[in-house]
Chain A
Amino acid sequence: MSRRRRALLAVGIASVVAGVALTLRPGLVAFDWATLATLGVWVAALVGVGLAAFERFERDDAPPGGLPRVGERPDYGVPGDELAAAVAEVGAGERDAADRDRVRERLRVAAADALERFAGDAPGEAERRVADGSWTDDPDAAALLADADDAVHEGVEPEFDRRAERAAAAVARLRDRTDGGEPSGSVRGSRAGDPDRPAGGVADD
């Protein structure tokens, strides 16, 4: 039996039942607004149930809502994104001053290391340049990492995220300037003839 015929059969049976009932008991239903509203609610409910049943039994391409995502790689992070997320989470208010200091300290260390590695600064010199802001031409980046009165860092720091991003970019630019060149002041990891290298465990003759 086709779907259409089944639907027509259901409508027919319902009509017959309603007709018999009204014949036996005329005036069973007074078609005032309350009756119509009640009928409307029931019709809506029954149509809803019917549509749901039709959806369940007849459709094969229903969306797999709620099922786990499969066939996709784990969402690996990209180096640097964890710092970006940390900066995005930190607020500008006094309550987040400690979190901001953690970010600031990490950027300070990165800047000092990069100055030693790429600009050839001595360790003390690199830290001094970061502290006095002379390590970069970017005033926002310099101001973020410069030594300042504690009250400045413990108070409200508007645009902290923008300054942190500029500081990160300024540190990365230190590398870009020397990219492809020899690292300044570094001792390459050559094996042979390295006087500081501990002797291996080769047996004497």
Chain B
Amino acid sequence: MTEPATVGAGLDRGEGRLERTGRWDGIHGLALAATVVAILVGKPVAILAGLAGVGFAAYSRFAEAPEPELAVERHVSDTDPAPGETVRVTLTVENESGATLPDLRFADDVPAGLEVVDGTARHTTALRPGKRASIAYEFAAVRGRHEFDSLTVVTRDVSGASRRVARRTTDRSTVVCRPAYEDSSVPLGDLATRLTGSQPVSATGEGLAFHSLREYRAGDPLGSVDWNRFAKDGELATRRFDQPRTVKVVLLVDARAAAYVTAGDGRPAVDACAHAAGALVGGLAEADCHVGLAALSPRECWLPPASGRSHRERLLDALTTHDAFGWRPPAATRGDTNDADGFGRLLTQIPGDAQVVVCSPVVDDRPVEAARALDARGHDVTVASPDATADDSAYRRLAATERRVRLDECRRAGIAVVEWTDGGRRPGPSAGATAGAETRVATDGGDARWR
């Protein structure tokens, strides 16, 4: 006489199945017992009591839940809401099957991430032919592309002995909520491309601003020789000038299942990481960096570094709508587990002259391993980490402590760490200069003696 807590679990869109509820499982025994008692006491009329049970048992054995033919209409009040705005959804179901549906239950398949704040997305009713039933509910918009394209329908026969469960596809309604990412930046290293740009990295060359002096080498152009120094000390020295370069930055967003944790506000850390990456897209693009995007996730997302307004829009669109940064964690990877989070593939995709900003809550060791591997390959790496830990139990405080230890391990390895808060980065002791403003180091053989 018990039913599972949730029906329809595991059904894909368009699938359905007929199930027996088992509600009348014991009725056969009761009917038999009543008949036996009637025979034992010698009262034929009492056998009629058993017949009632036999009737129920026969009905439950042969009755089948009706197959509903429904016309579904869904109306969404706003398909392009701002974050936090409430959107009203009205769902109307009409019985087109020509027969009464004595027990019809339906639930709109509200996309993951959306929370109903008013009304309900489920309904139970009986529906005669041609009649309609409507529900209305409101949800608060959050970042992402949210597709309404199905609903779960359950019908039962009158006795409740069987039910038919189906996920029916409906006309698609799409709600896209695009946050306004505030521009922000993080410390960048000196790794740059050979292209002239506007980032004052440590490169020296054909620029205008004086950078440093170094010992004269045969072949240096005479125009670059510091003749004043030669006149003063008799020593030949070559003047070097700043040469701003173009910097490529790949934003690597940790979107593994492990990053789908929350500090208790119901939002996964992946959402905070996506917001951080969105802010960095703007800040780095403003600093004339070429920005790319990648997801550390089984769900592949890779946009190579480039510049321009349309590319910037493409990056922000990916952070808003790509499945890799969605609200549902990725499923466990099957088969090849050597590259479960796609990091091996990313190593072949990230250009050798690109810096990498890892956006991760750092709740396990994997982001640290990835950052160190990238650092070992010569990339300048920065970790931008939103804090997704809580402190209301001993184990949660322990997790926060472990995160702090991991971040410190990054710092020990020479990797800059930025503690990211909702309003942007929180400059830690390691967060020195931001893009385009840091002290530069010569990398072409000059040393302090010649500065």
Binding site for B on A (CB under 8 A): 29-30, 32, 34-35, 37-38, 41-42, 45, 52-53, 56-57, 60, 62-74, 76-81, 83-84, 87, 107, 110, 113-114, 117, 165-166, 168-169, 171-172, 174-176, 182-183, 186-194, 196-205
Q: Is the CB of A34 within 8 A of B46?
A: yes
Q: Is the CB of B107 within 8 A of A68?
A: yes
B327 within 8 A of A: yes
Q: Take A81-B396, A84-B393 as given contacts and tell me if A194 and B414 are in contact as well, using a CB distance cutoff of 8 Å.
A: yes
Chain B residues with Cβ below 8 Å from A192 are 432-433, 438-441
Q: Mark B139-166, 1 if CB is under 8 A from A, else 0.
A: 1000000000000101000111001000
Q: Is the CB of B103 within 8 A of A56?
A: yes
Q: How far apart sit A68 and B154, CA to CA, in the bound complex (Å)?
A: 10
Q: Take A34-B46, A41-B49, A200-B192 as given contacts and tell me if A205 and B404 are in contact as well, using a CB distance cutoff of 8 Å.
A: no
Task: Pick the residue among B163, B266, B414, B443 that contacts A76 (CB under 8 A).
Answer: B266
Q: A191: shortest Cβ distance to chain B, in Å?
A: 5
Q: B124: shortest Cβ distance to chain A, in Å?
A: 4
Q: B331: shortest Cβ distance to chain A, in Å?
A: 12
Task: Pick the residue among B154, B400, B414, B444 that contacts A204 (CB under 8 A).
Answer: B444
Q: A98: shortest Cβ distance to chain B, in Å?
A: 20
Chain A residues with Cβ below 8 Å from B441 are 192-193
Q: Take A76-B261, A175-B400, A189-B416 as given contacts and tell me if A70 and B109 are in contact as well, using a CB distance cutoff of 8 Å.
A: yes
Interface size, chain B (Cβ < 8 Å): 117
Q: Is the CB of B46 within 8 A of A189?
A: no
Q: Is the CB of B49 within 8 A of A201?
A: no
Closest to B112 in A: A74
User: Tally of A-B residue pairs with Cβ under 8 A?
Assistant: 267
A-B contact pairs, 9 of them (CB 8 A): A64-B107, A66-B5, A70-B110, A71-B110, A190-B432, A200-B189, A200-B380, A201-B191, A202-B202
Q: Is the CB of A67 within 8 A of B102?
A: no
Chain B residues with Cβ below 8 Å from A83 are 395, 398-399
Q: A71-B120, A74-B268, A110-B398 are in contact. List 4 more A-B contacts (CB 8 A).
A: A34-B43, A67-B7, A76-B260, A78-B263
B108 within 8 A of A: yes
Q: Take A67-B122, A71-B139, A84-B393 as given contacts and tell me if A45 and B192 are in contact as well, using a CB distance cutoff of 8 Å.
A: no
Chain B residues with Cβ below 8 Å from A53 are 102, 158
Q: B198: shortest Cβ distance to chain A, in Å?
A: 15
Task: Pick the residue among B52, B205, B390, B394 that contacts A78 (CB under 8 A).
Answer: B390
Q: Take A73-B327, A190-B432, A197-B414 as given contacts and tell me if A56 and B396 are in contact as well, using a CB distance cutoff of 8 Å.
A: no
Q: Is the CB of A191 within 8 A of B187?
A: yes
